[in-house]
Structures are given as structure tokens and as C-alpha cells.
Amino acid sequence: MKIYNTLTRKKEEFVPINEGKAGIYVCGPTVYDYIHIGNARPMIVFDTLRRYLEYRGYEVNYVSNFTDVDDKIIKRANEEGVDSKVISERYIEECKKDMKALNVREATVHPKATEEIPDMIKMIEELINKDYAYEVNGTVYFRTRKFRGYGKLSGKNIDDLRSGNRSLLVSGEDEKEDPLDFVLWKPKKEGEPSWESPWGDGRPGWHLECSVMSKKYIGDVIDIHAGGEDLIFPHHENEIAQSEAANDTEFARYWMHNAFLKINNEKMSKSLGNFFTVREIGEKYDLQVIRFFMLNAHYRSPLNFSADLVEASKNGLDRIKTSAEKLQEIISANKSAEMKEDEKNLVEKLPEYTEKFNAAMDDDFNTADAIAVIFELVKFINTETNEESSVEFAEKLYNVLETLCNVLGIEIKTEKELPDAEIQALIDERQAARKNKDFKRADEIRNMLLDKGIILEDTREGVRWKRA
Ligand code: AMP
Ligand code: ZN
């Protein structure tokens, strides 16, 4: 399995630190508003990375943080006249709802910056002890030049950075020893959340969060560190400097960065105002379609968001689902059980699809090529099955199609509506259970129906039901 490593600018064979295991850290969103569909791109592509590693037998520890203390959160809290915790908690919940709708699985751990402050203080103390950090009037800075490897991820030359930043040096406002130094701890300002520290009340710098949380939940060395390409500099460069200086070891072995989602060929971002939230898009399209749209491009290629491309993705996804339905129909019609001779021969071709799919994914997670293989399989299913096909044959095809789609987080199961007669039978069973004081069973039936979108209403005239 090969991964393009931003650090070495090459595709490299993935060799985990511990055989069969993978520790992945993905920088998560700052929670001050609904996430936009640009933010959804890293969530979807790295969730797919995780699913693929699991499918290939790895035990994955997937850690993705929520940045819940930040200027933007504080600004929003002040505008609404509430505590910043109200804002961050609200948008963490909303973000989780969007992730669910995009079929992005919950991380193994979703640490929050505000809950990890003691460890952040500890890392700053270590950096001060090692002379990698210093305090001036309540602010602690990282001594960037002291870290020899600075610039290795972004390919920036430290001297070029220095001349670019010279204006800061002469402004006189800055107390840093060097304009390249960045903040590890900043002092409290009126109306801002703060924590006690040896340098006075204040809060941590953004870069420090990820160094501390990845260390705590994965370890000093992590297998894969990922995020959007805008994070390469300065965020990830600074994370490397802090972590490697504090831990005396390599920080992350593979660095993966997704390219941007664009709109009219401009980067989609909050600051440019040219964004759509996942919530808005979810009103227009099934978010499965958006996930499929994102995976139709390689994660390192820029992707332009347009109604035409989303429409094309919708049609593609429908083709896959129609094929899956055809198989389901053969299975439920149950005309012949066992495979015929010609079907047995056809089944031997199935591993080829899986192998081709794996080869595409092994090549730096080329989901675009992997989807092309799924379409080849769909064509095979459509031409080689008919009403007379056996259940066994249809099941074998269905299993392969479902497995490959699942790796991409694409659901092909179409829930059939429960027929009215079956609903009535379940309601009758529930009434009987209640009569026998078997409330557990009665509740079970109510919840089962609720899962299928059937709402029960107990009235004087009896039980009424409706579809949600
Ligand atoms: P932020 O909340 O701005 O820190 O962003 C959270 C994640 O979304 C980061 O990994 C960003 O790199 C990523 N991101 C932000 N905008 C886009 C975009 N337009 N396309 C792809 N990724 C993005
Ligand atoms: Zn980060």
C-alpha cells in the first residue's frame, strides 16, 4: 500500500510502527459555525482512508480533534452574548450530525482542546526547560530557529521566511526574540476564556493543541497525520517543531494532505464568503451523493463544486443502487437456489474486481479509479444476471458490490417501505403484549417501528400510526 507523503514528496510503501496497527491523527474543525462542504472533504477522504485500512485488516486508532477555543468562537460568543462553551458545544453537536449524514464514522476519540489544558501546560514547561521556548510578559513563544528541521514539511527555507517577516521586527510591538517565533501560550484578555498557568491566566496556541492531543491519544510517534493542504504551513510545520523538540523523536511518519474544494475555481472558504454549509446542501441533495461526488476525484486533486458534477454523481450512484436492487429482487423472488454451471464459471471472475479495486486504493487511495472498478462490476452484474439467476449467484455478486461500496462509505441498501399489513400486525402484537403487561416487548415494537419511520399514537379510539 503506497501513500504520497508530503514530507518526502514521494509515494512510499506504508509501513506502520506496530504491525497491523495504524494511529491516524486528522486536524478537525474549529467549531464556531456549521461546517461547509470544503471542511467535509478531509472528513470524507480520511474516513475512507480509515475504512480502507480496516478492510485490509489494520486496527485503526483514529483521532480527530475539535478546536473549541479560538478567536472566532470568542467573537461569535460575544455577538450572541453567551459563553464560548455554548457556541463550541452547539457546533460540535451540529458537526456530528453532518458527519453522520455524510456517513463519516465517529473517531476513536474526538478530543477537545479545552479538556487537555494540563497536558498542554506540561509540554510548554518541557519546551522551556529545553530552551526551545521562552516567556515574555505572560506570553510563551517557541524559539523556531533553534529547531533545526524547521521548514522540512513545507519545503520553506527559514531565511526566506525571515526576510518575508522582517516588518514585524521593526514594528516595535512585538516582544518576540525573532519574528519567526510562534505562540504557545497567550495571556488572558478581558472577556475571554482562560486557564491558570505558571505564566499567568491565559490560553494555549492553536498549533500546540494537536501536538499534545496526538501524543496523548496515539503516542510520541504517529503513523499518519492528515489535514487539508492549507495546514501544511504554518500549522503542521509548527506541530513538527514542538513535538520533535519536546519528544526527541520523529513526530509523524506519513503526512497526507487533501487538495481544496473549489467553487468557480476559487477556494471555498468562510472568509471569501463563497461557501455552502453541509446543512444547506443536504436540503438539496442526499448527502450520500456529496460523499460519492468527493470520492470521484483523487484526494490530492483540486475539485470544483458545480451542480452539473453533483448531478453526474447522483446518476452514477443511482446506477450502482439500481444494480444492487436488481440483485435484491432476484434474492427475494427466490426462483432457484443453487448456482448453475455457467454461474459458477462467472463467479470465478469476481476476485478480479476486488483485486483491481484494491490495486487502485493501494496506489495512494485512488478512489476515482476504485469507483471506475465498481462501475465495471455493475456492468458485469447487469449483463450477467436476469430473472432466472440463482439466489446463490445473486448473493455472491451482492456481497462483493456491498463490500467495495462499504469501503468507500457508500450504502447501497435501499430500505423498502414496510407494507401497511405488516405494520398493523406489529401494532396488534404490541397491544397483546401490553395486555399481558409485557411492556418490554411493547416498547421494543414501538422502537422497531420508529426505526422504520413509523410513528405510533395512542388515542382513546385505539392506536393510530403515520409515516414520518
Ligand atoms: P478549519 O475549521 O478552517 O480549521 O478547517 C477544518 C479542515 O477543513 C482543515 O483540514 C482544512 O484544511 C479543511 N478545509 C477548509 N476549507 C477547505 C476546502 N475548501 N477544501 C478542502 N478542505 C478544506
Ligand atoms: Zn492540527
Half-sphere exposure of 4 (CA within 13 A, CB side): 16
Domains 2-258 and 307-407 fall in the same CATH topology: no
Q: Where are the domains of the chain?
A: 2-258, 307-407, 420-467
Instruction: Report whether residue 38 contacts ligand 1, using a CB cutoff of 6 Å.
Output: yes
pLDDT tens column, 98-154? 999 999 999 999 999 999 999 999 999 999 999 999 999 999 999 999 999 999 999
pLDDT score at 396 = 98
In this predicted structure, the answer to whether residue 170 has a pLDDT above a threshold of 50 is no
Chain-centroid distance, C-alpha 247: 27
Q: Does the pLDDT value for residue 289 go beyond 70?
A: yes
Nearest CA to ligand 1 atom 15: 39
State yes or no: pLDDT of 171 exceeds 50.
Answer: no
Ligand 1 pocket member 269 (CB < 6 A): yes
Q: How far is the CA of 88 from the centre of ligand 2 (A)?
A: 17
User: Is the distance from CB of 106 to CB of 205 less than 8 angstroms?
Assistant: no
In Å, the largest CA–CA distance within the chain is: 85
Nearest ligand, CA 304: 1
Using one digit for the tens of pLDDT, what is the confidence trace for 44-100?
999 999 999 999 999 999 999 999 999 999 999 999 999 999 999 999 999 999 999
Q: 321-376, pLDDT tens digit by residue?
A: 999 999 999 999 999 999 999 999 999 999 999 999 999 999 999 999 999 999 99
Q: How much is the mean pLDDT over the chain?
A: 94
The separation between the first and the last C-alpha atoms of the chain, rounded to the nearest angstrom, is: 45
Instruction: Report the top-level CATH class of 307-407.
Output: mainly alpha
Instruction: Provide the pLDDT for residue 416.
Output: 67
Is 230 a pocket residue for ligand 1 (Cβ < 6 Å)? yes
Cα separation, 224 vs 231, in Å, equals 15
User: For residue 25, which ligand has an atom nearest its CA?
Assistant: 2
pLDDT tens figures, 364-395: 999 999 999 999 999 999 999 999 999 999 99
> Could you report the per-residue pLDDT of 212-244, keeping only the tens digit for each?
999 999 999 999 999 999 999 999 999 999 999
Name residue 289's amino acid.
V
Confidence tier at 164 by pLDDT (50, 70, 90): low
The reply to whether CATH 3.40.50.280 applies to domain 2-258 is no
- Segment 195-216, tens digit of pLDDT: 999 999 999 999 999 999 999 9
pLDDT at 331: 94
How many Cβ atoms sit within 10 Å of the Cβ of residue 302? 13
